[in-house]
Amino acid sequence: MNRASKNKCRTYFRITGNFDPDAVSDILELKPDEKWKIGDFRKNGTQYDFASWLFGTCSDYDNETENQMSKTVAPLLSKVELLRKIHSEFDVTFTLEIVPELYTGETTPCLAPSMDIIDFCHETRTEIDIDMYLYDKEED
pLDDT band at 138 (very low <50, low <70, confident <90, very high): low
Residue 68, SS3 per DSSP:
helix
Per residue in 28-41, pLDDT (tens digit) is 999 999 999 999 99
pLDDT band at 95 (very low <50, low <70, confident <90, very high): very high
Q: Which residues contact 112 (CB under 8 A, 6 or more apart)?
A: 65, 66
What is the Cα 121 distance to its own chain's centre?
12
Per residue in 16-29, pLDDT (tens digit) is 999 999 999 999 99
Distance CA 54, CA 126 (A): 13
